[in-house]
Structure 1
Amino acid sequence: MVDYKRLGERIAQTRKSQKLSQEKLAELADITATNLSHIERGKIKTSIETLVAIANALNVTSNDLLCDSLNHSTQELKNQIAACLDGCTMQELHLIADVAAAVKKRMRE
């Protein structure tokens, strides 16, 4: 099942990280800005054609945008975690590693 709310959030997040306005992304994807706004807010179900057009306009894969709905999207999650670690001090990295290990252990109990 596709989580259209998370899909929209991920599109918006990717668009903003590339410093694109909704109008510019809509133009690149050949859709209306209103349609893109509805997609980003999870108000409508987008077609595969529109999803591919948006992914191409953002220069990402559809898997990157759909990772919250895929069962096998561990690489995207690992990339997100790695991005969070960028710029951390050694002390911060040690703390994050300890917290992650504790959470993993607790979840598996």
Structure 2
Amino acid sequence: MKNDLKYIGKNIRAARKNKKLTIEILSELVGISESFLGTIERGESSLSIETLISICNALNISSDSIIMNRTEPLPAVADKKDTLLTMLNNASDAELDFLIDYIKFYRSRITF
């Protein structure tokens, strides 16, 4: 059980860092204290299924990505990527150039 908690905590921490969120921000999104989230990430505390679901929802990931370290995107994300790829495949060179410039501009202004 202790190893399971460490494994789950490690995966939560990795997902949080991947989303570039601090413990403070994630704990606010989930509605738990920073210290409790820290103990979860270190595998020192167990968490309820409700807390696990809240963490996964806040990170926009599936619970099996935490429990089983599954890295495939959620179906909604996969659908969005498929839609975007279809649109890109049908775009003209001018549209592609515009989109590339727009994404570069957007990313330079927004922190994820």
Q: Into which bin does the TM-score normalised by the smaller protein fall? A: 0.5 to 0.7
User: How far did residue 61 of structure 1 move?
Assistant: 0.8
Q: Distance in 2 between matches of 1:4 and 1:67?
A: 12
How far 1:6 moved relative to its partner? Answer: 0.6
Equivalenced residue count is 71
Aligned counterpart, 2:58? 57
Q: Kindly indicate whether residue 26 of structure 2 is the aligned counterpart of residue 17 of structure 1.
A: no
Match of 1:3 in 2: 4
Runs of 4+ deviating beyond 2 Å:
none
TM-score using structure 2 length:
0.59
Gaps of 5+ in 2: 73-112
TM-score of the superposition, structure 1-length normalised? 0.61
Once the two structures are aligned, what percentage of the paired residues are identical? 42
- Post-superposition Cα deviations, 1:21-56, rounded to whole Å, max 9, x if no partner, equal 000000111111111000000001111111111000
Residue identity in the other structure for 1:50: T
Partners of 2:49 and 2:41 in 1: CA distance: 15
Q: Tell me, in whole angstroms, the C-alpha distance in 1 between the residues paired with 2:32 and 2:63.
A: 17
In the TM superposition, residue 17 of structure 1 has moved relative to its aligned partner by 0.8
Q: Which runs of 5+ in 1 are unaligned?
A: 69-75, 80-109
Amino acid at match of 1:37: G
Question: Hey, what's the Cα distance between the residues in 1 that align with 2:31 and 2:63?
Answer: 17
What does residue 39 of structure 2 align with? Answer: 38
**Greater radius of gyration (CA):** 2
